[in-house]
Amino acid sequence: MSPRVTVVTGASRGVGAACARALAAAGDRVALLARGSCEPVAEAVRAAGGQALALSADVADPEQVRAAFAAVREAWGPVEVLINNAARLEPGPVAQLTPERWRGLWEVNVSGPLYCAQEALRDMRAQRRGVIVNVASVSGVPGIEKLPGLVGYAATKGALIAFSEALAAEVGPEGVRVVCVSPGSVATPMLAEAAPGARGMHPDDLARTVAFLASDAARAVQRTNLVVWGPPGE
């Protein structure tokens, strides 16, 4: 059986890079998408014996998303797994949440996953199989205490959780699983920029969870938002 074709967004660093490494280690052919260069991560995957394709694309631009997925299909064939990880944070008091910053959050954190899912589903629905894992955040989970200064981020991540549940209900009968994972703090460059000195779980810990959710071992897991706090003591 040939390796699965997997797309990971926001794969130039942090959680996305860790997910790309974990999925490649599991045997997938991994296409890495980000606005910045993914080539260093792709080179590391190849050096470890995996298959990787680095592509530059802004998930907030549907034309760039369409072109990136076309490049993946040309190189490897239909997409079977999508990890929607690309995100924007924009921390700060609500009074400083300008219309431009607000729109930017929604374009990356909600519209981006939609555009990527639409492209991936073209292949998944035709094959009647596939997996979409959306990376949200505990900031978007109702009932969990929120950090101040993240109004826009929390709103978009809550929307992504709802989007995941609704999409799962729509495409589940067609053989496509959609699940969501909501991590607590992860020690990434984004966290360091937003909250210097803050601690979080290692990206590899979250990536292993994402790789499991995308695997056949989790084929019974769907319409689910899994909260991941990290190992005890983190």
Q: Which of 153, 154, 194, 209 is catalytic?
A: 153
Structure token digits, residue 136: 């949200």
Q: Determine contact, residues 179/168, Cβ cutoff 8 Å.
A: yes
Q: How far is CA 176 from the centre of its chain?
A: 16
Q: What angle do CA 205, 135, 26 make, to 5 degrees?
A: 50
**153 an active-site residue?**
yes
Cα dihedral 137, 164, 86, 3 sign: positive
Within the chain, where are the H helices? 14-25, 39-47, 62-76, 99-106, 112-127, 151-171, 189-194, 203-214
Distance from C-alpha of 138 to C-alpha of 121, rounded to nearest angstrom:
26
Q: What angle do CA 162, 159, 123 make, to 5 degrees?
A: 65
Tell me the pairing of strands 176-183 and 224-228: parallel
Distance from C-alpha of 216 to C-alpha of 66, rounded to nearest angstrom:
27
Terminal Cα-to-Cα distance of the chain (whole angstroms): 39
Name the residues annotated as catalytic: 153
